[in-house]
């Protein structure tokens, strides 16, 4: 008979992380982490202990916590995630912040490669006046995004299956935003840590990692309203290259914003109508 405190200590030793042990035990027992403070000396039931031990083994083998528990917090939302979707990361919240700053009242935004729906749903939650469209080529990812939208009461978000701009049929928006794949195809990190378990198609994009950003940039002018902007997340060392791609695509006033760790994270640029661009 083993109490909760001892079970947590043993799992923390195995994982090297007390928080991860608490998250897994809370999931196995169907409680929240605060429950442990009042029940540290309780004896865990055999079924809960077996479930917890199985979860610890999965995490020790490298499987991401988010896939084990099936959820990830992002912005102010708790989202379902599965191996069909990229795991939302805190640094992507910068993309949401920048989009909210630039989205006019009653404006429109399309989130390309939406995955779990994290970015689109966060914007919809904050801006109920906005038209929000989310696109993904993966039917499995869109199923997850749709479930998240229904559970969060954000069903007004429109989800569309297709490859980047292909299903939009000439529609134009105030903002085009994306957290696209941006890792180099031969990057060794793809075989390490959590990345081993995430969909490769949502991570890697060509020899320099920028193939999909090029596709987004080249199609942006056909899907932006005059004065609209494109915002894309990218790697810490890609800011200069992404600004050049945006500029070469005919966009203007390109910029890069750094994340909380002072690394290049999101770049953007603006679209002027072809008439306005004439001297």
Confidence of residue 207 (pLDDT cuts 50, 70, 90): confident
* C-beta of residue 160 within 8 angstroms of C-beta of residue 102: no
Q: Determine the pLDDT at residue 197.
A: 81
Q: Is 262 a residue whose pLDDT tops 60?
A: yes
pLDDT in tens, 16-66: 999 999 999 999 988 888 888 788 888 878 888 899 999 999 999 989 999
Give the distance from CA 220 to its chain's centroid: 21
Q: Which residue has the tokens 């897994």?
A: 24
Average pLDDT, the chain: 91
Q: Pick 193 or 160 by higher pLDDT.
A: 160
Q: Determine the pLDDT at residue 77.
A: 97
Distance from C-alpha of 112 to C-alpha of 103, rounded to nearest angstrom = 16
Question: What is the full DSSP assignment across 171-191?
Answer: --EEEEEE----B-TT-GGGG
Distance from C-alpha of 78 to C-alpha of 72, rounded to nearest angstrom = 6
How far apart are the two ends of the chain, measured CA to CA in Å? 81
Per DSSP bridges, beta strands 108-112 and 131-136 are parallel
Q: Determine the pLDDT at residue 1.
A: 64
Distance from C-alpha of 194 to C-alpha of 197, rounded to nearest angstrom = 6
Distance from C-alpha of 123 to C-alpha of 130, rounded to nearest angstrom = 8
pLDDT in tens, 98-135: 999 999 999 999 999 999 999 999 999 999 999 999 99
- Number of residues written out for the chain: 279
Distance from C-alpha of 231 to C-alpha of 260, rounded to nearest angstrom = 17
Q: Determine the pLDDT at residue 188.
A: 75
SS3 assignment, position 54: helix
Residue of 79, 119, 86, 87 lying closest to 103 (CA atoms): 119
């Amino acid at each position: 008979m083993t109490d909760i405190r001892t079970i947590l200590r043993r799992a923390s030793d195995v994982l090297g992380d007390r928080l991860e042990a608490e998250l897994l035990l809370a999931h196995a027992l169907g409680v929240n982490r605060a429950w442990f403070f009042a029940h540290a000396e309780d004896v865990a039931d055999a079924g809960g202990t077996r479930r917890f031990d199985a979860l610890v083994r999965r995490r020790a083998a490298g499987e991401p916590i988010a896939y084990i528990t099936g959820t990830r917090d992002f912005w102010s939302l708790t989202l379902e995630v599965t191996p069909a979707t990229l795991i939302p990361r805190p640094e992507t919240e910068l993309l949401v912040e920048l989009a909210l700053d630039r989205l006019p009242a009653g404006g429109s935004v399309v989130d390309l490669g939406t995955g779990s729906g994290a970015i689109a749903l966060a914007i919809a939650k904050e801006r109920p006046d906005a038209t929000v469209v989310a696109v993904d080529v993966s039917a499995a990812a869109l199923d997850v995004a749709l479930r998240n939208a229904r559970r969060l009461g954000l069903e007004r978000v429109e989800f569309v299956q297709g490859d980047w701009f292909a299903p939009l049929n000439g529609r134009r928006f105030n903002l085009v935003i994306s957290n696209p794949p941006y890792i180099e195809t031969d990057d060794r990190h793809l075989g390490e840590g959590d990345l081993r378990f995430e969909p490769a198609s949502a991570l890697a994009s060509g020899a320099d990692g920028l193939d999909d950003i090029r596709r987004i940039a080249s199609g942006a002018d056909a899907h932006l309203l005059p004065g609209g902007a494109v915002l894309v997340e990218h790697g810490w060392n890609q800011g200069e290259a992404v600004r050049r791609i945006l500029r070469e695509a005919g966009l203007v006033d390109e910029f890069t914003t750094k994340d909380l760790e002072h690394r290049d994270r999101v770049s953007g640029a603006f679209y002027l109508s072809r008439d306005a661009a004439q001297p």
